[in-house]
Structure 1
Amino acid sequence: MDVLDLARTQFAVTGGLHFLFVVLTLGMAPLVAIMHTRWALTGGPRHEAMTRFWGQIYVINYALGIVTGLVMEFQFGLAWSGLSHYAGDVFGAPLAMETLVAFFLESTFLGLWIFGWGRLPRWLHLACIWLVTLTAYASAFFIMMANSFLQNPAGAVARGGRLELVDFGALLTNKALVFSFPHVVAAGLFTGGTVLIGASAYQLRRRTEHQDFFARSMRLGVVTAAIGIVFTMGFGYAQFAGVQEGKFDNTGAALGLALMMEIGQLLGLVVLLFLLPVIRWLPRWRWTHPLLIAMTPLPFVLAIAGWVAREVGRQPWMIWGRLTVADALSPGLTPGMVAASLAGFAGVLGLLAVVDYVLIARVIRRGPRDLDLGAGAPGETRAPALSF
């Protein structure tokens, strides 16, 4: 592989691994917020236990995902300085906003939520997790704004060999953004719902003592997954109206698109035609639980296939019609340099993905007992899930 192919592979691997964390974060945040809202309204131990259990899974995924996101920032300076030089004034603005939102606001509100358990007033504590959710979506919005500019460089003109922003409103209404952002949000909801289904199926198949806890979680997951897959497919198909001519002539993009559509349609049929109609009885049908567990990784595969279709289809352009990938590459790079950084980044991010899976799987196997989230709260009972 030459240096360009290595650099493209590096960004694809690190970007794909990072997005595995992102899509689950976008799906779990509103679910935890809904659970916390129920707890704030009712004060019941069942809703507290659900908030703490699924909230702990969210926190694990978020914490490790932040580290993987840091690697993405290095990519532009190390391998793609041509992009920064040519379009940094436009492309960098939404990335800067995302950094402010994600690393400052979102993490601040999440820290208040984690350490404010039993210390903050009830409604202020609830507001923190909703602000976490809103800032997570704002972060995704700015990332999609930047990516959509690469797909369709609206609102910018070339002056002096560089792009300058002349219409910020055009960035906000970019035809590559208006459907892709809700598509990504819906995919996150589908992923979060599917994780709830799979984890609950695992516990229910083991005949856990917390039958009602995981039965409720499974039903919530089915409803969320149904909503998510409907809007994922709807906004996904809506994007075809604005696709550039010839974008999916690329073999890799066509394969990613075909895989995404086939998996999406299959999962849509399963959730809408088989799971949703029997949602009341599904927790008791143990014969379905291995299938539900096996279904859990598929939304992640679907998400990666979607990104492959979206990004590979833009080749050979870094910015469609304006800047090629070859021109965006940093000068002076050698295959050895990029191969070394690729191995390092992929190794670190791959390890973080494994650690994320192991820690989440450990929490799921243990169930809603001896949770760390909220353990230091004044008057905390340590295992509220056992009290109902």
Structure 2
Amino acid sequence: MSAADLARLQFAATTGIHWLFVILTMGLVPLVAIMHTRAACTSDPAKRAVRERMTRFWGQLYVINYAVGIVTGLVMEFQFGLSWSGLSKFAGNVFGAPLALETLIAFFAESTFLGMWIFGWGRLRSGVHVTLIWLVALTAYASGYWILVANGFMQHPVGYEVRDGAAYLTDFGALLTNPSALLALGHLTLAALTTGGVLVTGVSTFHLARRTEETDLFRGSLRLGLWVAMLASFFVIIVGDLQFPLIERTQPGKLAALEESHLPWHGLLRVSTDVMTITGNTVSTITFVAVFLLWKDLLVRWRPLAYLMTALIPFPFIASAGGWVLREVGRQPWLIYGELTVDDALSHVSRGSLAVSCSAFIAIFVALAAVNWTLLTRFARRGPYGIQFGATEPLTEEPRPATAAF
């Protein structure tokens, strides 16, 4: 492999793995915020206890994914200087600010609010505590917005002029309202909500099919997760289709590579597009039917249906990975469409050095992903028994499950 191929493989692998953490983080946090809000607004002590346990259970899964995922995010921006110094030299004046803002929001504001929420159980007033988790959700999506502002410039550069071989920002408003960023943000938001909703639905049906004693907790989780997944998966398809006229106008080469078999990358683009559409439509169809099966508990009374929803958990991740490949690979050979090619952006780093860093980064990221999903699976299977997250004092015995009906 050439130096350029190794650099691209490294960035693609690390970004792709990091993306799996991001989409689940963004998908789970609004659901946790809704659960916490419902708990805070419930006056009945028994129901409130169940809803607080619900919030703490799903919040624990969210925090695990966030904690491991943020480690993978630490190295992402450093790769611009490591492997793609030409990109930094040409466009650093334009998207340096969005990347810096994303770092400040993700690693400072979001982490601070999350830490206060984690350690605020039993210590903060209810309204303040709920506000904190909504601030976590807001900063998570603000972080995603700034990343897409930078990425949108690479897809469809706007608001700049080139002087002495470097791009300089001339219209900050155009950069912020770049349709390539805004449409992608809408698509990302709905894809994330689909991912979070399907995870909550799948874990809930798994426990209900096993006749858990935490029936009230998982019934409430199931209804919320399934409705969110159904609605988000329907609209994500619509917003996804809205991007094709924009691509036709701003990136005609991407559509040409997608449609014409003799052009480079056609096979990969075609497969990734089919994966995205087929799995996305499958999720949308199954969740739509499943909503009706909530009537009289048909969804969980027949175990094969319940386990089908559990088996659906990987599908949104697969669909989003296909969409990511279409968005990024489709603009090749451009790194900044129409302005900077991949070869021109590559750093002057030896192939041997890139081979070592590529192997090391991929191995570390795969290990982190394996640790994350092992922990998520273990805690999800365990259920809410013995939850330490949000406990104000150590538990000395297994808590008795609440029996309040929703």
State the TM-score, normalizing by the size of structure 1. 0.96
Poorly superposed stretches of 4+, deviation over 6 Å: 378-382
CA contact (8 A) 1:98 1:143 kept: yes
Corresponding residue number in structure 2 for 1:330 = 347
- Pick from 311, 324, 346: which aligns with 1:307? 324
Corresponding residue number in structure 1 for 2:166 = 162
- Pick from 358, 369, 372: which aligns with 2:388? 372
3-state SS of paired residue (2:168)? strand
- How far is the alpha carbon of 1:376 from its aligned partner? 2.6
3-state SS of paired residue (1:318)? strand
> In structure 1, what is the Cα distance between the partners aligned to 2:400 and 2:158?
53
Matched, 1:279 2:294: yes
**CA 1:285 to 1:304, structure 2 compared with 1: closer, same or farther past 3 Å?**
same
Matched, 1:95 2:95: no
Matched, 1:353 2:357: no
Specify the code of the residue in structure 2 equivalent to 1:200: S
Q: Deviations over 1:186-224 (max 9, x none)?
A: 000000000011111221222211122212211211101
> In structure 1, what is the Cα distance between the partners aligned to 2:168 and 2:40?
48
3-state SS of paired residue (1:370)? coil
**CA 1:121 to 1:378, structure 2 compared with 1: closer, same or farther past 3 Å?**
farther
> In structure 2, what is the Cα distance between the partners aligned to 1:295 and 1:200?
12
**CA 1:269 to 1:139, structure 2 compared with 1: closer, same or farther past 3 Å?**
same
Q: Which moved more, 1:109-118 or 1:209-218?
A: 209-218
CA contact (8 A) 1:148 1:176 kept: yes
Query: Structure 1: any 5+ residue segments left out of the alignment?
Result: none
CA contact (8 A) 1:368 1:383 kept: no
Corresponding residue number in structure 2 for 1:7 = 7
Q: Deviations over 1:5-43 (max 9, x none)?
A: 111111110000000000001110000000000111115
Corresponding residue number in structure 1 for 2:273 = 257
Corresponding residue number in structure 2 for 1:28 = 28
Matched, 1:289 2:306: yes
> In structure 1, what is the Cα distance between the partners aligned to 2:324 and 2:58?
27
Matched, 1:127 2:119: no
What aligned pairs does 1:117-196 form with structure 2 within 5 A after superposition?
117-196=121-200
- Pick from 338, 354, 360: which aligns with 1:344? 360
- How far is the alpha carbon of 1:57 from its aligned partner? 0.3
CA contact (8 A) 1:263 1:302 kept: yes
Matched, 1:207 2:211: yes
> In structure 1, what is the Cα distance between the partners aligned to 2:399 and 2:163?
63
- How far is the alpha carbon of 1:246 from its aligned partner? 2.2
**CA 1:377 to 1:239, structure 2 compared with 1: closer, same or farther past 3 Å?**
farther
CA contact (8 A) 1:117 1:377 kept: no
Matched, 1:75 2:79: yes
Q: Deviations over 1:82-136 (max 9, x none)?
A: 1001100112111101001111100000000001111111111111000000000
CA contact (8 A) 2:117 2:133 kept: yes
- How far is the alpha carbon of 1:377 from its aligned partner? 5.3
Q: Which moved more, 1:78-87 or 1:256-265?
A: 256-265
- How far is the alpha carbon of 1:287 from its aligned partner? 2.2
Specify the code of the residue in structure 2 equivalent to 1:15: T
CA contact (8 A) 1:17 1:353 kept: yes
Q: Deviations over 1:140-175 (max 9, x none)?
A: 000111111000011111011100000011112212
Matched, 1:247 2:254: yes
What RMSD over aligned residues (CA atoms) do the two structures have, in Å?
1.7
> In structure 1, what is the Cα distance between the partners aligned to 2:137 and 2:293?
30
> In structure 1, what is the Cα distance between the partners aligned to 2:403 and 2:216?
12
Q: Deviations over 1:274-321 (max 9, x none)?
A: 112222322322221221121110110111110000000010000000
**CA 1:283 to 1:212, structure 2 compared with 1: closer, same or farther past 3 Å?**
farther
Matched, 1:383 2:399: yes
Provide the identity percentage. Answer: 50
3-state SS of paired residue (2:41)? helix
> In structure 2, what is the Cα distance between the partners aligned to 1:133 and 1:50?
18
**CA 1:183 to 1:381, structure 2 compared with 1: closer, same or farther past 3 Å?**
farther
> In structure 1, what is the Cα distance between the partners aligned to 2:400 and 2:197?
23
3-state SS of paired residue (1:21)? helix
State the TM-score, normalizing by the size of structure 2. 0.92
> In structure 1, what is the Cα distance between the partners aligned to 2:403 and 2:234?
37
